[in-house]
Structure 1
Amino acid sequence: MSDIARHPAPPFVAVVPARLASTRLPNKPLADIGGKPMVVRVAERARESGAQQVLIASDAQAVLDAAIAHGFEAVLTREDHPSGTDRLAEVAMRYGWSDDTIVVNVQGDEPLIDPSLVRDVASHLAAREGCAIATAAHPITDPAEIFNPNVVKVVPDARGVALYFSRAPIPWARDAYQPHWPDVAAMPAPAAPTAVYRHIGLYAYRARFLRTYPTLAQSPIEQSEALEQLRAMWHGERIAVLITRDAPLPGVDTPADLARVRKLFGSSA
């Protein structure tokens, strides 16, 4: 999956945050996929990554009951968390993990997540002592993706540390794009050495940062872009970016997504 050298995974914890409320797909974490709730399918993938501990964190007792019924540890969290990172912060404080404990946030709507990607992001953070967070990205060349504001882009520096995340097309390939702007449909793929990377929303955190995160004020760039990782960068935290070759399989946001995943698991219920 990734381009980093394979090393034994460091000890890490995987937390699967799962909110029961969903506007596009009600009760999403409990949606049946091949005879098991989706959140359990995600937790199984997280367990395959080699995590020493896998927790399901939710504000709904029904999700916890499903987790426990399938042999997973679960923790009830507050209902008013604005993001999955805030939910992880509560878990980190309640469990009292040491500052350097690596905690991977595995989104509860990613039943097809590659376990090796979870492990690699944890390893990436472990190898970069100066970073509080690690995440992943993969190259994209299709202008429709590059100019899609729903596709988040990231620009890393020479050391693989994030310079910026944006919904805008960054970096701007001036010579390739400018002659065609604003006709996005006519945009060519940027030529080398320009590289555009799509951000993969998988994060590994040091527990120290998670305990600090709720105390950080929102930043103007976070509010403008609607990207919570920019809050960490605004306050001086560094984010290591693992570059992978391929895009991960998509998660579940809509009924159509759920039908597609159920088909892969040989289920239609």
Structure 2
Amino acid sequence: MSVLIVIPARYASTRYPGKPLAELKGATGEVKSLIRRSWEAASAVKGVDRVVVATDDDRIKAASEAFGAEVVMTSPDCANGTERCAEAFDVLGGGYEIVVNLQGDAPLTPAWFVEDLVAGLKGDPMAEVATPVLRCDGRALNGFLEDRKAGRVGGTTAVFTKDHHALYFSKEVVPFTDASFADEDETPVFHHVGVYAYRPSALGAYPRWASGPLEQLEGLEQLRFMEHGRQVLCVEVEARGRQFWELNNPEDVPRIEAMMAQMGTA
């Protein structure tokens, strides 16, 4: 099945304006923009036919083309990354059987997360969308809880059925647990990794649907699929010793840089 990766990137982020051009220093001291690191992560995925950056901003376009990325210009009216992916898919003329949304704020996404995601969607004919989930260890869960106490939006969590079909996604920590966990402990909480694989039929329908109350309250685009009765598959992925974090706030830059230093990411 042919696979397209789209990296949606907008300049006018409410929480972090200009985020795609934020600079991150790797383990060797080399500084690269967030959008470049995200493109490099996408380019490392096996079995992909094409990788494009989708943006509405000339600064992001120029920066992306400077390091060799293919860029698709999209409307500034796209409400989220899924809508931007849908428009980019149309601009390119379709022709791919699976479209992956690798959001431009997740430079630490390992290639196998996306490879497992695509395999999961291929293997579940009932699912129209798939997204990875990663079981939290105590360190990750405690980080989520500290962020919420400090009033920061950290990672998103997911709950799902025994068949791994999504029940809900939230920026709160769900399910609730009052247990204490050491850093290396396994926990019952799953971190939702902000990557999506879509079948074209679901992706094409998405921009035509009204945004529902859950999507609006949580600010989570994947809830629109669920509010319109579409099946979202949660594909459990393995960290394999890698740390993972999205860049949501300026305060996340030193956290991600520390992770890259620890993992030896250039």
TM-score (norm 1): 0.77
Matched letter for residue 97 of structure 2: T
- Residues 1:68 and 2:65 aligned together: yes
- Residues 1:114 and 2:105 aligned together: no
CA distance in 2 between counterparts of 1:189 and 1:109 reads 30
Aligned length: 240
Unaligned runs of 5+ in 2: 25-29, 182-186, 262-266
CA distance in 1 between counterparts of 2:116 and 2:246 reads 19
CA distance in 1 between counterparts of 2:257 and 2:154 reads 24
CA distance in 2 between counterparts of 1:123 and 1:164 reads 22
Q: What's the CA shift for 1:248?
A: 4.6
Q: What's the CA shift for 1:41?
A: 1.8
CA distance in 2 between counterparts of 1:155 and 1:83 reads 22
Q: What's the CA shift for 1:259?
A: 4.2
**Does the 8 Å contact 1:140/1:146 carry over to 2?**
no
Tell me which of 150, 155, 158 is aligned to 1:154: 158
Note closer, same or farther for the CA distance 1:43–1:164 as it changes in structure 2 (3 Å cut).
same
Note closer, same or farther for the CA distance 1:167–1:256 as it changes in structure 2 (3 Å cut).
closer
Note closer, same or farther for the CA distance 1:260–1:140 as it changes in structure 2 (3 Å cut).
closer
- Residues 1:212 and 2:216 aligned together: no
Structure 2 counterpart SS, 1:195: strand
User: Which residue does the alignment assign to 2:51?
Assistant: 54
User: Which residue does the alignment assign to 2:100?
Assistant: 104
Q: What's the CA shift for 1:221?
A: 2.5
Structure with the greater alpha carbon radius of gyration: 1
CA distance in 1 between counterparts of 2:75 and 2:108 reads 27
Note closer, same or farther for the CA distance 1:222–1:156 as it changes in structure 2 (3 Å cut).
same
Summarize the alignment of residues 158-169 of structure 1 with structure 2, pairs less than 5 Å apart: 158-169=162-173
Summarize the alignment of residues 1-269 of structure 1 with structure 2, pairs less than 5 Å apart: 10-33=1-24, 34-50=30-46, 51-98=48-95, 101-140=97-136, 142=138, 144=142, 145=144, 148=148, 150-172=154-176, 187-189=178-180, 195-246=188-239, 248-261=243-256, 264=260
Query: What is the percent sequence identity of the aligned residues?
Result: 34
Q: What's the CA shift for 1:195?
A: 3.2
CA distance in 1 between counterparts of 2:118 and 2:38 reads 17
Structure 1 counterpart SS, 2:169: strand
**Does the 8 Å contact 2:245/2:256 carry over to 1?**
no
